Amino acid sequence: MLNTPTTEARIYIKPGFAWDEQNAYLFDIDGTLLRNRDRIHRESFIVGVQQVMGVDIQQVLFLTPGGTDPAILSYAFEKAGIACDTKGAQWTAILDAMYRSCEERRREMDIRIMPGVEEVLAHLAQRGALLGVATGNLEMIGWIKIEEAGLRELFSFGGFSDHFPVRSELVADAARKARRLAGENARICVVGDTPRDIAAAHANQLPVIAVATGHFGFDELLEGRPEVCASSLADLLATKRTVRE
């Protein structure tokens, strides 16, 4: 079940860490920027495997919070006893079919932007920060969601799971792109909603803002020792405004 939002604003900020003074930010998509209230992405896994391999994986498909699309697909194959070379033509065909399925149904997507996302993105952009994504989604599917949410023009690059099925590796890829754009010494921060986002950031020696807008509550996220933990981005930005006042 999804974490149930509360009216209580909870914020932790590590002493000395200026959450809105970093040079670049890497945002997770699902649970952080937005929530899909449809099953189109999930059903794309089923459609892709059925079209390419003629196998129904519906009963063994589990979308784990913070999991990458290739890892979720590999787990389903393992549970179903299916052998598939993750670097072979069948695998590539499945990923392509997943993208086509989402593209064909993109207008059916029911997307909710998480509280405070638009305001925080505008705030960071105004301060000159570079905005990117670091997501377990396949690249084309991730961009479809962001486009349908009306946020695409705010992001200039991203790290995706197509070639980096391990989350820490896709975060590393996004960080490399950020440094090419913002400078080798750029201060980079990850923003996510799961313990896996926190672990992936810290594996790359990057600070992280954890938001309890997905499946995990504030206290669960705080156990991972993020530099910032907030009940939502709206609540985090509100603390900034309170300080100014």
- Indicate the domain borders of the chain: 11-36+112-244, 40-108
In the predicted model, residues of the chain with pLDDT beneath 70 are 1-7, 241-245
| Phi–psi pair at 176, nearest 5 degrees | -60, -45
Say if domain 11-36+112-244 classifies as CATH 3.40.50.2000.
no
CA quadruple 202, 206, 210, 215: dihedral, nearest 10: -50
- Cβ contacts of residue 74 below 8 Å, gap of 6+? 86, 165
Q: Which residues pair with 229 in a beta bridge?
A: 12, 210
| Contact between 114 and 232 (Cβ < 8 Å) | yes
Q: Could you give the residue ranges of the DSSP H alpha helices within the chain?
A: 40-53, 69-80, 89-104, 117-126, 139-148, 167-182, 195-203, 218-222, 233-244
Q: Which two tokens stand for residue 112?
A: 């909710």
| Three-class SS state of 157 | strand
CA distances to 74, 92, 117 from 191, in Å: 26, 29, 11
Identify the pLDDT of residue 244: 44
pLDDT at residue 1 in the model: 42
Q: Contact, 111 vs 145, CB < 8 A?
A: yes
